[in-house]
Chain A
Amino acid sequence: MTPEQGIKRRKFIGVITVLIVFIIAMFFVSLSTGVIQLSPLDVLKTIIGQGTDKQELILFDFRLPGIVLALLIGAGLAVSGAILQGVTQNDLADPGILGINTGAGLAVVLFIFFFQDTFSMTSTISAFVMPLFALIGAVFAAFLIYFLAWKEGVNPIRLILVGIGVNAGFSAALIIFQLKMDPQDFRQATVWLAGDIWSANWSFVFALLPWILILIPIVLHKATSLNVLNLGDDVAAGLGTNVERERRLLLLLAVALAGACVAAGGGIAFLGLVVPHIARRIVGPTHQRIIPISTLIGALLLMLSDTIGKNILAPTEIPVGIVVAILSTPYFIYLLMKTK
């Protein structure tokens, strides 16, 4: 190991440590804030089993599942964005902008629309079935975008423009279906569209957890392919990579992550866009480092946004997707001005 690599490695470990400290601190802030304030001491007491019944109820049944979901969704979306940016060689790719979120959302809304009588929406079954529907919707959207953008190859700019168009089309279809629902289902559907995790419960957490725990390590394992693909198709092919096959596999991973996250937390846009950029700024272009850092920053950012949304205008709860958009669109616009 050269001295320079040693410094980079130490910096990488340092950044990870700092992020984990931030996440733990934010975790406690998030647990103690809300409509009913709890002191950090009360939170600690309750966690080790010394709290009152009421405190236990608030923490374990209401706040904790939401916070854990925020962590998982943030991580998943950020990694999905990192893959998409690497694969398309486009700095502005994101599951939200490309229309994958809306595709998943449409599938979820169709599921609610057609099976509203069969399942109760908060039941455990639907918590496991809905991510599957979201995944189908996300895959369908990704396939459609890839197909429509194909014209002797897929050019990154065309991909983004087609994504914007497909997104608008799905949104329009969504509105039409939503308005045909009864008010109860309408609200349920709106949850997905605004990007909101307030209906969180443990079954959603357990439905999403396996996706994140299985897919992110696979992505990390594929980080070398991402590095190679990021050099451009010609170089990648020259280095002996089967470009199209690797690209499709990685796209599928990105889409699966985004689909599962949308099922649990709705269409949260811009998170997957901004986080990988911040990660790249901190640790450079190697995906072995970008992926873990993105996971942590994504988790932190979504937990932070969720806490802000719940508290800044209390008792009004602001959907987390809106907070993310307000926090990250200025940075996106800045990126837009910088990219060629």
Chain B
Amino acid sequence: MIAAINHSRFLKIIINIAALIALAFAIGISVAYGAVDIKLSTVWQAVFEFDANLTNHQVIQELRLPRACGAALVGAFLAVSGAIMQGMTRNPLASPSVMGVTNGAAFTLVIMLAFFPNVSNLGLTLASFTGAGIAVVLVFMVGSYSSNGLTPAKLALAGVAIGTLLSSISSIISLHFHLEKEMSFWFAGGLAGTNWTSIQILLISGGIGLFMALMIARSITILSLGEDIASGLGQNNILIKILGIVSVLVLTGAAVSIAGTVGFIGLIIPHITRFIMGTDYRWIIPSSAIFGALLLVLADVVARLINAPFETPVGAITSLIGVPFFLYLARGSGGGK
């Protein structure tokens, strides 16, 4: 993993506040740019002095604001779940998309859409938790039956294999039940469908996950020193791991049920955060949330502007940003041995 810089506590707080301000500004930009460009001052008015008679205000309230907030939450959740996975497994490549978790969530989503077409949004979210869980269990099973345990290369390959298997079955189901359109949305990753209902689901389920993540942050720091050291310090590693996995499932499931398979955020952000914030997960987890939110809000703006008026899937944008980073990790600690 990348060596951390030891910033002072004061500097860390300043960096986080600066990132929060940048996030607020990014959300503003995200709301202002689109098919119709709206002035930032109008955005401000639409939020704080809402006038239902103005179309621009309605566009902002009903379409753009939920979308920007959705992007921020999804980015935050994916980043935090990547941070927990990397901390728990001490594996630099651990993250929701590399491990096929996002494909697992999409897999159960398509099953629900095919066999229970009248399912509620909450049902879809629950389904994607389950799917995320199936993928995690499968990857860890491959790991625990492997002769050398889960080396970074094995983790990546197991993720590719399980992701491919689950997404292949999903494609068959979607082809047979004519759900290609719905599913291509999830596999490409996008935030176009976000509305206030989805924000509520995100806030509740993701909030629980985030809370759990913060609760175990200190224990993850200790766990990231190695399991022997952690149990030597009297820590109940099994309990922490179970709590960690549950929060990963809740966070990833919530994110995927809203935005589909957005790749690499959960991989990049924790590394960047560790580089800036040091090795203490009490800092890494909240900062990952802020940085992840910032990155996905900006990626979503790029996704809308790069080929306007058509939308590019935001998952493609985050992949293009994430791949060079993945290659850097693969050349370094990931594939050094």
Report whether A166 and B147 are in contact in the complex, using a CB–CB cutoff of 8 Å: no
Chain A minimum-CB-distance residue to B187:
A175
- Does B91 sit at the interface, judged by CB under 8 A? no
Bound CA–CA A275/B295 (angstroms): 42
**Residue among A151, A172, A326 with max Cβ neighbours from chain B (10 Å):** A172
Report whether B323 and A158 are in contact in the complex, using a CB–CB cutoff of 8 Å: no
Of the candidate stretches B7-15, B62-70, B166-174, B208-216, the one touching chain A is: B166-174
B interface with A by C-beta (< 8 Å): 93, 142, 145-148, 151-154, 156-158, 160-162, 164-165, 168-169, 171-172, 175-176, 188, 263-264, 306-307, 310-313, 315-317, 319-320, 322-324, 326-327, 330-331, 334-337
Quick one: given A176-B316, A337-B145, are A161 and B161 in contact (CB under 8 Å)?
no
Report whether B147 and A316 are in contact in the complex, using a CB–CB cutoff of 8 Å: no
Report whether A179 and B153 are in contact in the complex, using a CB–CB cutoff of 8 Å: no
Q: How many A-B residue pairs have CB under 8 A?
A: 131
- Does A7 sit at the interface, judged by CB under 8 A? no
A-B contact pairs, 14 of them (CB 8 A): A97-B157, A97-B160, A160-B156, A160-B335, A161-B326, A161-B334, A164-B156, A164-B160, A164-B326, A176-B312, A180-B310, A329-B161, A329-B162, A333-B162
Report whether A322 and B172 are in contact in the complex, using a CB–CB cutoff of 8 Å: yes
- Does A318 sit at the interface, judged by CB under 8 A? yes
Neighbour of B165 across the interface among A148, A175, A194, A326, CB < 8 A: A326
Bound CA–CA A270/B162 (angstroms): 12
Bound CA–CA A168/B320 (angstroms): 8
Report whether A161 and B153 are in contact in the complex, using a CB–CB cutoff of 8 Å: yes
Category for how many chain A residues contact B: 35 or more
A interface with B by C-beta (< 8 Å): 92, 97, 148-149, 151, 155, 157-158, 160-162, 164-166, 168-169, 171-173, 175-176, 179-180, 194, 269-270, 313, 316-319, 322, 325-326, 329-330, 332-333, 336-340
| Residue numbers in B under 8 Å from A322 (CB-CB) | 168, 171-172
**Residue among B154, B156, B162, B323 with max Cβ neighbours from chain A (10 Å):** B323
Quick one: given A97-B157, A194-B171, A333-B161, are A161 and B152 in contact (CB under 8 Å)?
yes
Report whether A269 and B319 are in contact in the complex, using a CB–CB cutoff of 8 Å: no
Task: Report the minimum CB–CB distance from A293 to chain B (whole Å).
Answer: 24
Neighbour of B307 across the interface among A148, A165, A179, A313, CB < 8 A: A179
| Residue numbers in A under 8 Å from B313 (CB-CB) | 175, 179
Report whether A316 and B165 are in contact in the complex, using a CB–CB cutoff of 8 Å: no
Task: Report the minimum CB–CB distance from A267 to chain B (whole Å).
Answer: 11
Bound CA–CA A171/B158 (angstroms): 19
The 5 closest A-B pairs by CB, nearest first: A158-B335, A161-B330, A172-B319, A169-B323, A329-B165
Q: Given A175-B316, A333-B165, A336-B157, 6 other A-B contacts at CB below 8 A?
A: A165-B326, A166-B327, A169-B324, A173-B320, A316-B176, A337-B147
| Residue numbers in B under 8 Å from A172 (CB-CB) | 263, 315-317, 319-320, 323
Report whether A171 and B164 are in contact in the complex, using a CB–CB cutoff of 8 Å: no
Neighbour of B330 across the interface among A162, A316, A330, A336, CB < 8 A: A162
Chain A minimum-CB-distance residue to B320:
A172
Bound CA–CA A175/B307 (angstroms): 12
Bound CA–CA A269/B172 (angstroms): 16
| Residue numbers in B under 8 Å from A332 (CB-CB) | 161
| Residue numbers in B under 8 Å from A161 (CB-CB) | 93, 152-153, 156, 326, 330, 334-335
Report whether A336 and B334 are in contact in the complex, using a CB–CB cutoff of 8 Å: no
Quick one: given A148-B331, A155-B335, A175-B188, are A165 and B323 in contact (CB under 8 Å)?
yes
